[in-house]
Amino acid sequence: MSQLEKIVVVTASMECPMCPTIVTGRTAEGVTVYVRYRWGNLSVRIDPREPAPNAGAEGMWILALQLDPEGLDGWLSYEEVKQHTAEILVWPEELTPRNFDDDKTGETLDDLVL
């Protein structure tokens, strides 16, 4: 991939509002983008399959960065995700609101918050 060929994400949502940070997105072509930050490591995967197994978590790795050498951190804001992936991804300005009450698991946001 040349520097000029960034992946453009047209929709993005925060899948996990707590630790670990998980942001998923879709390109105009329908490719799933999966970003996860856990134990100080940021990973980005892409998956063109429809639907992408495990929301894209089984996709091809395109970026792996260690941001916290102590390996203790697991939360990034959306702005930090955009900043750390800016060399390869172009993100929408805002997240698409996620309705946790409509999640396929049947859990509500109240079930997820302790």
Mean per-residue pLDDT over the chain, rounded: 86
Range of the domain at 44: 7-112
Instruction: Give whole-number Cα distances, 97 to 13, 14, 51, 88, in Å.
Output: 7, 8, 20, 24
**CA 37, CA 101: separation in Å to the nearest integer?**
24
Structurally, the chain folds into a number of domains equal to: 1
Tell me the per-residue pLDDT of 42-64, one tens digit each, with 9 for 90 and over. 999 999 998 888 889 999 999 99
36 pLDDT above the threshold of 70: yes
Q: Let me know if residue 1 belongs to a domain.
A: no
In a domain, 28, yes or no: yes
- In total, the chain counts a number of residues equal to 114
Is 2 a domain residue?
Answer: no
In-domain check, residue 71:
yes
Query: Distance (Å, rounded) from C-alpha 74 to C-alpha 17?
Result: 11
Closest of 32, 19, 21 to residue 79, by C-alpha = 21
- Average pLDDT score over residue span 73-83: 94
